[in-house]
Amino acid sequence: MRLSRYFLPILKETPREAEIVSHRLMLRAGMIRQQGAGSFSWLPLGKRVLEKVNGIVREEQDRAGAQEILMPTIQSADLWMESGRYDDYGKEMLRIVDRHERQMLYGPTNEEMVTDIFRSYVRSYKDLPLNLYHIQWKFRDEVRPRFGVMRSREFLMKDAYSFDLDFEGAKAAYNRMFVAYLRTFSRMGLQAIPMRADTGPIGGDLSHEFIILASTGESEVFCHKDFLKFEVPGADVDFADDAEIAGIVEAWTTPYAATDEMHDEAAWTAIAEGEKVSARGIEVGHIFHFGTKYSKPMNATVTGPDGKEHFVSMGSYGIGPSRLLAAIIEASHDENGIIWPESVAPFDAVLINMKAGDEACDQACETLYEQLQAAGKDVLYDDTDARAGGKFATADLIGVPWQVIVGPRGVAGGEAEIKNRATGARETLPLEAVVNRLN
Ligand code: ATP
Ligand code: MG
Ligand code: MG
Ligand code: MG
């Protein structure tokens, strides 16, 4: 992509309405545009990162055995009346009436709709386990939308729903999602800690929020410092092996970790002072077992091996990709801008032509641009005639992992400079060596 053709509306001024660093940087880097209270457009740079995040979420959901579908954003209120949640949900739900006076709503979540899909087709325990997910926009009329895409009204959610014959099966499904979440966040360069969360009237201990520690987080959280050095399971983890997966969950749920609603002062006091981490956190994911809460009122059953009908045991598993972008920036930035982990970066490298219009520089850059693309790299080529200082500032602000810098003096000696955004380390090398160095 040539920067001269790229829609990248960088802001010079720091937007005054933005209270936290991720919101400021996303606006300044031209990633998002606010359209109304808690509502944002995704501009090309932001959309690229969002798709990278979705890609990782999708790969890890698929690896854990979930299957992607896509359900509508607008739902019929009838389904919610069946489950009894239409009245309970309250003001966070945006209610809509169509031209035939039918009650509709913009989905804040999809338990009812996916249960309806399930009950329409699945009849036997032999078709279980089943886990269906989608990545779709949600609307919640938040009392206080703020912090940009961190708490917006319209936001993207990956929501998965598992269906099993009994609690044992549902627990194994829960464990698979637990491990998939550990891998998902870690691949984005985030340290997410699973913390016990409230299960409300359903009870039990099968609900965890995945929390990123950050001073701007909205929740107060408490955990053992052991979590900070835990190793996340590798890509070779066997999701078909229930015992292996349960072992990982066991290890990750043994040290103390809870959000303020679940905080247990007695257990907390028992931990040695130097081993406690009490901090603020951002909820980036939430997994929840709720058994027959929806299958019963909505009559979603399968025939069991005993020949009888059983209400399926269900769970739901959410991740907020749009919130994740903000969380990643909160965790990875400096005074000059964003520092994207390579896995989610909008481009692999930015190629900076320090003197566009200079024949030798243009020539060297065109060659590098072609070579890098041929090597499969996503490159933003800064071919504009802006000053070198401005180009460096833009490259730092948008946080692309590598900068390839081509100036007249270097080119005369057949050299370019590369800079790593995260470490600041610079290296001069022959023009021909650049592609291999970035591979
Ligand atoms: P919160 O406690 O922050 O209000 P929640 O518990 O209501 O979130 P869930 O219903 O558990 O959210 O939804 C699953 C995920 O969707 C959350 O873990 C979060 O990542 C994301 N999410 C929820 N609400 C928002 C929002 N208003 N803006 C952006 N992402 C959100
Ligand atoms: Mg909420
Ligand atoms: Mg919450
Ligand atoms: Mg939650």
Mean pLDDT of 6-15: 94
What CA–CA distance (Å, rounded) separates 195 from 186? Answer: 16
Q: Confidence band (pLDDT; 50, 70, 90) for 420?
A: very high
DSSP string over 358-391:
-HHHHHHHHHHHHHHHHTT--EEEE-S---HHHH
ipTM rounded to 2 decimals: 0.99
Q: Is residue 45 over pLDDT 80?
A: yes
Residue 235: Cβ within 10 Å count: 9
Distance 137 CA to ligand 3 centre (A): 17
DSSP label at residue 159:
E
Mean pLDDT of 323-352: 98
Spatial CB neighbours of 204, under 8 Å, sequence gap ≥ 6: 289
Mean pLDDT of 312-334: 98
Q: Is the CB of 320 under 6 A from ligand 1?
A: yes
Q: Is the CB of 155 under 6 A from ligand 1?
A: yes
Distance 300 CA to ligand 3 centre (A): 27
Ligand closest to Cα of 217 equals 1
Q: Confidence band (pLDDT; 50, 70, 90) for 201?
A: confident
**Residue owning the nearest CA to atom 16 of ligand 1:** 320
pLDDT at 99: 98
Q: Is residue 202 over pLDDT 80?
A: no
Distance 286 CA to ligand 3 centre (A): 8
Mean pLDDT of 117-125: 98
Q: Confidence band (pLDDT; 50, 70, 90) for 33?
A: very high
- No. of H helices and E strands in the chain? 13, 23
pLDDT at 264: 94
Cα–Cα nearest to 3, from 400, 289, 291: 400
With the most atoms of ligand 1 within 8 angstroms of its CB, the residue from 210, 286, 324 to mutate is: 286
For residue 356, give both structure tokens: 């566009």
The secondary element (H helix, E strand) that includes residue 67 is strand 67-68
Q: Which atom of ligand 1 is nearest to the CA of 109?
A: 10
Whether the CB-CB separation of 306 and 366 falls below 8 Å is answered with no
Mean pLDDT of 365-387: 98
Q: Is the CB of 286 under 6 A from ligand 1?
A: yes
First to last CA, the chain: 19
Q: Confidence band (pLDDT; 50, 70, 90) for 109?
A: very high
Whether the CB-CB separation of 145 and 37 falls below 8 Å is answered with yes
127, 367, 368, 387, 408 from 350: Cα distances, Å: 49, 14, 11, 16, 18
Distance 285 CA to ligand 3 centre (A): 9
Distance 140 CA to ligand 4 centre (A): 13
pTM over 0.90: yes
The per-residue pLDDT for range 251-273, each reduced to its tens digit, is: 999 999 999 999 999 999 999 99
